[in-house]
Amino acid sequence: MYDSGKIIIGLLLFFGLIASPIWYNLASGKGSYKPDIKIVTTEKQCVAPTPYMRTSHMDLVYSWRDLVVRENHRSYNSFTGRQYDMSLTGTCLNCHSNKTEFCDKCHSFVGEAPFCWDCHVVPKEGN
Amino acid sequence: MKIIYSLIGVLALILIVALGVGTADLQYLFGVIIPVLAALVFGVGIIYRVIKWARSPVPFHIPTTCGQQKSLPWIKSATLENPQGRWGVIARMALEIFLFRSLFRNTRVELRDGPRLAYGTTKYLWLGGLLFHWSFLIILLRHFRFFVEPVPFFVLFIQRIDGFFQVGVPILYVTDIFILLALSYLFFRRIVSPKIRYISLIADYFALLLISAIVISGILMRYFWKVDLIAAKELVLSIFSFHPVVPEGIGLLFYIHLFLVSCLLVYFPMSKLMHMGGVFLSPTRNLSNGSRARRHVNPWNPPVKVHTYEEWEDEFHDLIKGAGLPLDKE
């Protein structure tokens, strides 16, 4: 093999970078971390089924924003037939009053920084 | 025909995983075993290819040059076009790797009305290639939010820049648009021009279509048919920390995306995509043009048997002396 020094350094560098998630997770010690979100409400059912809310709550909230802000339409007919007021602070945060233990857990887990709080006041937490 | 074969190949891959996960419930196979095996094939394959290249001798000193070589001190030399030493080569390689300089120099010959032969620069391939590769890199770096915990700052920074325009929810990433545009250009470039279509192979179309399928599945997953991101990250984290666990209900699209990426990883070392490693090992780029200053020895030259004058003189010492001829040693 010619230029073996350079070749080996190059390969080591490449695989060091490729395998960086392994080193990073080893160093942080959070390789088996799972966000454990806390639901603090006596309500049994959210405005939409849980699997839908888990993957697509941002669609719902975003469409609520458009309907309320642009069309002044405030009433949401949920899949159970119950009527809700389309409101982040009035409806969502009424049940999920614990932003740091509910919203932020998953959002920071996948590196999302939703712009809800650009306009909305971050609710005061405390029991 | 070649396009059809490549398209069928990619669709077959999607069908395999759709049946495997959607019907046969083989989440562990497609979520853990195949990606891990694919990563191993990728690693071993890359080492094999690079070592094989490194074992090939470079018999001649063949850097491509397009500028004045360094010669007399009062003649201005071109360091980048005709690098003399290590730093010139490093600068030239860096421009090639990061900015595709040789594609930037691409020219085109046309027969215009007249008839008149016209030469001109053409930058579309350079632009398309640059757009594609940089978008791919940025998208790969963005994916680190699913690979590691906690999410590193550079990922958050890239996301902010990439989603600068704050279009929609989830925020539209500009690189997603760019990579689609670039892939479309690179694909249709091969179809529109008869000359390029003639020299295009199945491997050319397949690589483009496979990467397009990965990109499209990723875009669908982000913006349209959403999957459970938290569960997806749990799976990926668990593989990277060697305790694979497959959470329930991630969504079929995730497995399609992952399987296509696994196929890309396997395909990578045995295809033209190895230009990622090859660009570093091209003798026409990575040699300095210093052959006037330092002799380039062909490594496969056999050792030459030489008979020096001294040895000759020793051999015929007595005869030379007897003939009265002068000797060097006396």
The 10s digit of each residue's pLDDT in B37-80 is 999 999 999 999 999 999 988 888 899 988 898 889 999 989 88
Measured CB to CB, residues of chain A less than 8 Å from chain B are: 1-4, 7, 10-11, 14-15, 18, 20-22, 24-26, 28, 30-35, 51, 54-56, 58-59, 61-62, 106, 108-115
Q: What is the pLDDT of residue B183?
A: 97
Structure tokens at B176: 């997603």
Q: What is the pLDDT of residue B316?
A: 92
What are the pLDDT digits (tens) for B19-32? 999 888 899 999 99
Contacts of A33 in chain B (CB under 8 A): 149, 237
Mean pLDDT of B113-120: 89
CB contact under 8 A, A109 and B230: yes
Widest CA span in chain A: 74
Q: What is the pLDDT of residue A97?
A: 87
Q: What is the pLDDT of residue A123?
A: 79
Q: Which of B146, B241, B246 to mutate to test the interface with A (most CBs of A within 10 A)?
A: B241
What are the pLDDT digits (tens) for A62-116? 999 999 999 999 999 999 989 999 999 889 988 898 888 899 999 999 999 888 8
pLDDT tier for residue B144 given thresholds of 50, 70 and 90: very high
Mean pLDDT of B226-244: 92
Closest residue in A to B43 (Cα–Cα): A15
- Give the Cβ contact number of residue B199 at 10 Å: 9
Q: Which among B166, B240, B251 has the least Cβ separation from residue A25? A: B240
Give me the half-sphere count of Cα atoms (radius 13 Å) on the Cβ side of residue A37.
17
d(CA A84, CA B244): 41
Q: Which residue stretches of chain A are H helix?
A: 4-18, 20-28, 50-71, 93-95, 103-109, 116-119
Handedness of CA A34, A40, A44, A50 (dihedral sign): negative
pLDDT tier for residue B6 given thresholds of 50, 70 and 90: very high
CB contact under 8 A, B145 and A110: yes
Residue A40 DSSP code: -
Q: How many residues does chain B have?
A: 330
Break chain B into its structural domains and give their ranges: 2-322
Q: What is the pLDDT of residue B30?
A: 93
Closest residue in A to B299 (Cα–Cα): A2
How far is the alpha carbon of A55 from chain B, nearest alpha carbon, in Å?
A: 5
d(CA A107, CA B230): 9
pLDDT of A127 > 70? The answer is no
Q: What is the pLDDT of residue B134?
A: 97
Contacts of A3 in chain B (CB under 8 A): 54
pLDDT of B84 > 90? The answer is no
Q: What is the pLDDT of residue B71?
A: 87
d(CA A31, CA B239): 9
Q: Which of A3, A4, A7 to mutate to test the interface with B (most CBs of B within 10 A)?
A: A7
**Cβ of B276 under 8 Å from any chain A Cβ?**
no
Closest residue in A to B55 (Cα–Cα): A1
Contacts of B249 in chain A (CB under 8 A): 51
What are the pLDDT digits (tens) for A13-32? 999 999 999 999 999 988 88
Q: What is the pLDDT of residue B113?
A: 87
CB contact under 8 A, A31 and B150: no
Q: Quick one: which H or E segment has residue A75?
A: strand A75-77
Closest residue in B to A1 (Cα–Cα): B55
Please tell me the CATH code under which domain B2-322 is placed.
1.20.950.20
Helix (H, G, I), strand (E, B) or coil at A89: helix
CB contact under 8 A, B152 and A24: yes
- Cα(first)–Cα(last) distance of chain B, in Å? 82
| Amino acid sitting at position B304 | V
Q: What is the pLDDT of residue B329?
A: 76
CB contact under 8 A, A1 and B55: yes
How far is the alpha carbon of A54 from chain B, nearest alpha carbon, in Å?
A: 7
Q: What is the pLDDT of residue A126?
A: 59
Q: Which of A13, A15, A24, A57 to mutate to test the interface with B (most CBs of B within 10 A)?
A: A24
**Cβ of B140 under 8 Å from any chain A Cβ?**
no
The set of residues, in sequence order, having a beta carbon less than 8 Å from that of A84 and lying 6+ positions away, is: A47, A75, A76, A78, A91
Contacts of A1 in chain B (CB under 8 A): 51, 54-55
Percent of chain B with pLDDT over 90: 68
Q: What is the pLDDT of residue B182?
A: 97
Mean pLDDT of B190-217: 94
Write down the mean pLDDT value for chain B: 92
What are the pLDDT digits (tens) for B266-323? 999 999 999 999 999 999 999 998 888 888 888 888 888 889 988 999 999 999 989 9
